[in-house]
Structure 1
């Protein structure tokens, strides 16, 4: 209906935008309240996960840790605090025994031993184990690998043998590349530990890295000598969950 004659025109309402603005503020407030609620719940869950990780890595209660595939989860490693302490003592004892052996046999520079996050690592240099371009163990190598194996036989841990070369290429009928050479060397060490020392084959694995895991840059012959090696890695039990054929309880935290 049109405006009557003589009726004064109403002034426009310039504050109508406040209605839309107040609706927007209300929706934003609801959104942030929901976000805060969700984050508060996740904080509690992740606090529990953090506690579980501390128990596993620091040995306070029981063995478990957090994984992220595809989301947060709790993985039971089956290792108790007492078990973790026993394993740490076993690793330390083996380290000291091997250091004493290296010193007594005058193997400094040929055999190195140390502890890493993944476990105990015994590094055997190529000059001790093999002739250049060969994967056959030398007589001296058999003695050293046998002695080291006797120390490792006392431990229940999985053992990974890792073959490494320098970056000098190889192309023979037997070893077309450093991949084949490094893998063959690792496999031969595994075979000797099983057949001559008596280590359980299910506890051993062999892998070859070729020239792609150097410990120093391959910029000189001195450095290349250091990179040509076989590492015997005594893996911590915590890493057993990554091994195939292991039964581990996985609890997904939603």
Structure 2
């Protein structure tokens, strides 16, 4: 009996592989659960995070702001899906703007394009401002009025973006291109509020200085293209963060848009 019992104790346990197999199955299940979770990332949240990270790390939105700095271009999760009506409105507005451009002989001075973020109306500096100044010229008022009247029929938020070329400016009023580009955008905002009757809640203004060129600043011809103000009609998918909005009280506090004479020491310097 003792010998037989000893032989039985020496028999190997052939079922131990089941423990390893069970562990492997458990790990595989956890792996596929994790992969499934990753595959269901909220695309809107990811787009918002991507925009914010680009601004913070890549400097794509390097700009100068008066007052509180506006937040990043935010994704509006409450925006209605689809947008066939909005697309039709954008197309109609572009057709009306193209007609005005043709009638006024403004080809090359006003450019209308459709981008992913919305409808962009780009007005060249020579059409709107004197060299080194931010006040809208009398001859440009009628153009901005016509553009504003077309856009005022749409409910979309509108962002006014000021841009310059890379030629430096250093005056008491405008120490750099950031101040100049922002002041120009602010004057356009004030005009749209006071003369067109747009709601301040729809508008924001920002200046990007020379940091958002559309072509390289390698010639005067190219620099003239970069000196511009862009009126951006944002699609409803995008929304302007609250700190970036410029209201009537803020404009009054800044005393912008009064069209008062300004001291300009930028003689011979084109911005």
Same fold (TM over 0.5): yes
- Decide which structure has the larger Cα Rg and report it: 1
Contact 1:111 1:122 in 2 (8 A): yes
1:143 shift after superposition: 1.0
| Higher relative contact order, chain-length normalized (CA < 8 Å, sep 6+) | 2
Q: State how far apart, in whole Å, the 1-side matches of 2:138 and 2:107 are.
A: 18
Gaps of 5+ in 2: 1-11, 50-74, 244-271
Deviations 1:56-77 (A, max 9, x none): xxxxxxxxx531377xxx9732
Gaps of 5+ in 1: 1-14, 50-64, 246-254
Corresponding residue SS for 2:86: helix
Q: State how far apart, in whole Å, the 2-side matches of 1:24 and 1:157 are.
A: 61
Q: State how far apart, in whole Å, the 2-side matches of 1:228 and 1:19 are.
A: 79
1:139 shift after superposition: 1.2
Q: How does 1:1-40 map to 2 (within 5 A)?
A: 27-40=23-36
In structure 2, the CA distance between the partners of 1:166 and 1:200, relative to structure 1 (3 Å rule), is: same
Q: RMSD in angstroms over aligned alpha carbons?
A: 2.7
Q: State how far apart, in whole Å, the 2-side matches of 1:120 and 1:216 are.
A: 20
Q: How does 1:198-237 map to 2 (within 5 A)?
A: 198-237=197-236
Is 1:178 the counterpart of 2:156 in the alignment? no
TM-score, scaled relative to structure 2? 0.69
Corresponding residue SS for 1:215: coil
Deviations 1:165-201 (A, max 9, x none): 0000000011000000000000000001111111111
Q: How does 1:81-100 map to 2 (within 5 A)?
A: 81=82, 84-100=83-99
1:39 shift after superposition: 2.7
Contact 1:186 1:206 in 2 (8 A): yes
TM-score, scaled relative to structure 1? 0.73
Q: State how far apart, in whole Å, the 2-side matches of 1:162 and 1:151 are.
A: 19
Corresponding residue SS for 1:39: helix
Q: State how far apart, in whole Å, the 1-side matches of 2:102 and 2:233 are.
A: 21
1:147 shift after superposition: 0.8
Q: State how far apart, in whole Å, the 1-side matches of 2:207 and 2:30 are.
A: 52
